[in-house]
């Protein structure tokens, strides 16, 4: 027969009770809500909505700033908000990984030098960070499928197509 004092020392009873309470709390704790990982398709859609271009334009070989700037923004968002490698991002945008690396560098330059690029990039970032598909901030004006959106002292107008339910606030 075992000595009960060696199995359960009574002088250490408060710490045993705390340990048991901690274990019970750990077992009964609600799991943290699961958030699905951000997909590159969501980034592409959001960038197209904010910059008012089509997906074929975003993926095209065109080099004018109206297409190149959103493309650079999408690549930087993909790199910052996902765990995708340059190769994976390049595959989804039909580009080589070195092109993606160069484009992200250009996006960094544009963020520093171009206020219009920066404001649209911030709107995309806030939409994607929220995970709701809707801008986070204050809608200042809404009319005809367009919304003016204010966040961080920047006002940007975003077109949300009616064909995408849940996108318009």
Domain architecture of the chain: domains with CATH? 40-132 (1.10.1750.10)
Half-sphere exposure of 17 (CA within 13 A, CB side): 5
Residues 76 and 110: their CA atoms lie apart, in Å, by 11
pLDDT of residue 131: 65
Those residues whose C-beta lies under 8 Å from the C-beta of residue 108, and which sit 6 or more positions away, are: 76
**Tokens 């020392």 label which residue?**
9
- At residue 154 the predicted structure's pLDDT band, cuts being 50, 70 and 90, is very low
90, pLDDT greater than 80: yes
160 versus 41: which is more confidently predicted?
41
Those residues whose C-beta lies under 8 Å from the C-beta of residue 157, and which sit 6 or more positions away, are: 141, 146, 147, 148, 149
139, pLDDT greater than 70: no
Give me the percent of the chain exceeding a pLDDT of 70.
Answer: 65
pLDDT of residue 130: 75
108 versus 9: which is more confidently predicted?
108
pTM value is: 0.61
pLDDT of residue 79: 94
């Amino acid at each position: 027969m075992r000595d009960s004092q060696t199995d359960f020392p009574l002088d250490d009873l408060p710490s045993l009770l705390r340990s048991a309470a901690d274990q019970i709390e750990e077992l009964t704790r609600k799991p943290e809500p699961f958030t699905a990982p951000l997909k590159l398709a969501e980034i592409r859609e959001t960038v197209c909505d904010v910059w008012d271009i089509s997906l074929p334009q975003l993926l095209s070989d065109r080099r004018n700033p109206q297409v190149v700037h959103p493309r650079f923004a999408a690549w930087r968002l993909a790199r910052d908000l996902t765990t995708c490698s340059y190769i994976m991002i390049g595959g989804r945008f039909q580009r080589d990984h070195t092109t993606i690396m160069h484009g992200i560098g250009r996006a960094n330059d544009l963020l520093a030098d171009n206020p219009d690029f920066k404001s649209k990039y911030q709107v995309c970032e806030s939409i994607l960070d929220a995970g709701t598909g809707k801008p986070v901030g204050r809608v200042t004006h809404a009319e005809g499928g367009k919304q003016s959106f204010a966040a961080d002292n920047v006002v940007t107008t975003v077109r949300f197509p009616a064909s995408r339910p849940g996108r318009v606030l």
